[in-house]
Structure 1
Amino acid sequence: MSYDAIDLYAGAGGWDQAARQLGLSTVGLEIWHDACVTAVRAGHPRIRCDIATYPTAPFAGVPGVIASPPCQPWSNAGKQLGKLDQPRVHDLVDRMAAGDDRWQDMPWEDDRSHHAAQPTRWVRDLMPEWAAFEQVPEVLPLWEHIGRVLRGWGYDVWTGKLCAADYGVPQTRVRAVLIASRVRRVSQPTPTHYDPERYGYGLFGTPWVTMAEALGWSGGDVLQSRRDSPKWVAEHGARENRTASSPAPTITGEAFRWKLSVGARSNATVRDLDQPAATILCSRPGNLLWTLQTGANTELGAGRVERYERTTDRPAPTVIGNTGRWKVAAGERPVDLAEAAVLQSFPADYPWHGNKTSTFQQVGNAVPPGLGAPVLAVAAGVPAAARMDLAA
Structure 2
Amino acid sequence: MTYNFIDLFAGAGGLSEGFIRRGFTPVAHVEMDPNAVLTLKTRMVYHHLKKKKKITHYFKYLKGEITRDELYAKLPQDKDEVVINKEISDQSIDEIFAEIDKTLNNQERQTVDVLIGGPPCQAYSLVGRARDPYGKENDPRNYLYRQYVKFLEKYQPNVFVFENVPGILNAGKGILFNDIAKILDESGYKIKAKILNAVDFGVLQQRRRVILIGWKKGLQYGYPKFKPIEHNYLVNDLLKDLPPLNPGESDDRYSTDPTEYLLKSKLRSKDDVLTQHITRMHNNNDLEIYKIAIELWNKEKKRLNYADLPPRLRTHKNLEAFLDRFKVVGADLQHSHTMVAHIAKDGHYYIHPSDIQRRSLSVREAARIQSFPDNYFFEGSRTAAFTQIGNAVPPLMAENIAEKVLKLLENDVSLEFEEELEDTQQQVLF
TM-score by structure 1 length?
A: 0.63
Contact in 2 for aligned 1:13/1:366 (Cα 8 Å): yes
Q: Name which of structure 1's ranges 206-215 and 17-26 shifts more when overlaid on structure 2.
A: 206-215
Candidates 147, 151, 155, aligned match of 2:181: 147
1:152 and 1:73, CA in 2 relative to 1: closer, same or farther beyond 3 A?
closer
- Which residue pairs with 1:11 in the alignment? 11
Q: Partner of 1:244 in structure 2?
A: 331
The separation in 2 between residues aligned to 1:237 and 1:149, in whole angstroms, is 40
Q: CA separation in 2, counterparts of 1:223 and 1:346? A: 29
Give 3-state SS (helix, strand or coil) of 1:35's partner.
helix
Structure having the higher helix fraction is 2
Aligned residues: percent identity? 25
| Deviation per residue, 1:227-278 (Å, 9 max, x gap) | 899698624533444522320111123436xxxxxxxxxxxxxxxxxxxxxx
Shift of 1:3: 7.1
The alignment partner of 2:351 has SS state of coil
1:170 aligns with 2:199: no
Higher relative strand content = 1
Deviation string for 1:149-186 (max 9, x for gaps)?
33444433221111110111111010111101123412
8 Å CA contact 2:343, 2:386 repeated in 1: yes
Task: Tell me if structure 1 keeps the 8 A contact 2:351–2:360.
Answer: yes
1:158 to 2:192 alignment: yes
Aligned equivalent of 1:316: none
Which sections of structure 1, spanning at least 5 residues, go unmatched?
87-108, 194-205, 257-283, 295-310, 313-331, 386-392
2:375 is matched with which residue?
349
Measured in 1, the distance between the counterparts of 2:327 and 2:346 equals 17
Query: Quick one: which of 91, 115, 120 aligns to 1:65?
Result: 115
Residues 171 and 248, structure 1, Cα contact 8 Å, conserved in 2: yes
Segment drifting more, 184-193 vs 36-45 = 184-193
Q: Match for residue 153 of structure 2?
A: 124
Aligned position for 2:54: none
Query: Distance in 2 between the 1:40 and 1:134 partners?
Result: 22
Q: Structure 2: which amino acid aligns with 1:212?
A: N
Q: 1:243 to 1:287 in 2, by over 3 A?
A: closer
Query: Quick check: 2:328–2:350 contact (8 Å CA) kept in 1?
Result: no
Pairs within 5 Å for 1:150-299: 150-182=184-216, 183-193=219-229, 206-207=230-231, 209-216=233-240, 234-235=320-321, 237-238=323-324, 239-246=326-333, 247-255=335-343, 285=346, 288-294=349-355
2: CA distance, partners of 1:185 / 1:230: 52
Question: For the residues of structure 1 that align with 2:318 and 2:338, how far apart are their CA atoms?
Answer: 15
Contact kept, 8 Å, 1:69 with 1:116, in 2: the verdict is yes
Give the distance between the partners of 1:83 and 1:21, measured in 2 at CA: 41
CA distance in 2, matches of 1:352, 1:62: 28
How many residue pairs were aligned?
Answer: 288
TM-score of the pair, normalised by structure 2: 0.58
Q: 1:240 to 1:18 in 2, by over 3 A?
A: same
Aligned residue identity for 2:147: Q
AA aligned to 1:136 is V
Q: CA RMSD in A?
A: 3.5
Q: Which amino acid aligns with 1:133?
A: F
